[in-house]
């Protein structure tokens, strides 16, 4: 939800993370990842890099690199880093992640951004992204992968209510996802999945600011198109992928 018009609909500032990741889980992930004392952190499709910044704050001297193509998210990340005294230890770079030479790193974060690593389409997207992550992490390091999976195979009528051209092949099941991880040369040290509460916080938070904006500006020149887009997004969740699409947070260790 973006606009080049400063008076237009706002971006989703109600969210700490651009995904169904709650504060309790984020604190646990940060503590565990920081406990391995990574000297370098690489965040693929970083957005504003909230989790990377938390890890850097927990590991004095660690340096981070975030890669994304959204300039506004990157600017938000730089502002957050400056506000937390981390600006001299992190870079937010506007560049493609496919074929990146920014690694290898001690810790690689890839939260809902596998598509940034490869031009492959499902069902090859995840295996090829995992191959890239294996290349980008140092021996003995960690990868935190946030990846979608089907809680159960969706029916055709459910797929029709999701995103355009949604297909069963868009995501594996959780066991299939973990099998792909192992086949790519990782051991899954931890397997966690987003809760319904985390999903509701994300989905509501993603639209909250713009819903408030719409309520106050029904006659704004951008209101009609914004309302249509937001209503479609909400309907896609409530009538489509709610309780069907899961997100797994997998802490991966590269095999020697």
Domains, in order of start, for the chain: 23-153+163-194+245-254 (3.40.50.150)
Residues of the chain above pLDDT 70, percent: 98
Task: Supply the pTM of this predicted model.
Answer: 0.95
Q: Is it the case that residue 245 has pLDDT exceeding 50?
A: yes
pLDDT value at position 140? Answer: 96
Asked if the peptide bond before residue 123 counts as cis, ω within 30 degrees of 0, the response is yes
- Cβ–Cβ < 8 Å for 185, 134: yes
Count other Cβ atoms within 10 Å, centred on residue 142.
Answer: 24
Helix count (H) and strand count (E) of the chain? 8, 7
Residue among 87, 85, 100 nearest 44 (CA): 100
Residues of the chain above pLDDT 90, percent: 95
pLDDT value at position 4? Answer: 41
């Amino acid at each position: 939800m973006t606009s080049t018009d400063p008076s237009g609909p706002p971006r989703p500032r109600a969210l700490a993370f651009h995904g169904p990741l709650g504060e309790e889980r984020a604190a646990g992930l940060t503590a565990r990842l920081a406990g391995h004392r990574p000297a370098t952190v690489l965040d693929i499709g970083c957005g504003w890099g909230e989790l990377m910044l938390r890890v850097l704050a927990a590991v004095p001297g660690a340096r981070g690199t975030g890669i994304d193509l959204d300039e506004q998210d990157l600017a938000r990340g730089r502002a957050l880093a400056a506000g937390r005294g981390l600006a001299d230890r992190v870079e937010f770079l506007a560049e493609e992640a496919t074929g990146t030479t920014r690694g290898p790193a001690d810790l690689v974060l890839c939260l809902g951004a596998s598509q940034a690593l490869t031009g492959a389409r499902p069902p090859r997207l995840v295996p090829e992204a995992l191959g890239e992550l294996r290349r980008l992490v140092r021996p003995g390091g960690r990868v935190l992968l946030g990846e979608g999976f089907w809680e159960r195979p969706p029916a055709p009528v459910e797929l029709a209510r999701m995103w355009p051209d949604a297909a069963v092949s868009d995501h594996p099941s959780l066991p299939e996802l973990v099998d792909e991880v192992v086949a790519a040369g990782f051991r899954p040290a931890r397997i966690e999945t987003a809760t319904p509460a985390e999903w509701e916080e994300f989905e509501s938070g993603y639209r909250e600011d713009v819903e408030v904006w719409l309520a106050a500006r029904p006659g704004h020149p951008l209101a009609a198109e914004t309302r249509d887009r937001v209503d479609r997004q909400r309907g896609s969740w409530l009538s489509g992928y709610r309780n069907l699409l899961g997100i797994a947070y997998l802490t991966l260790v590269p095999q020697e």
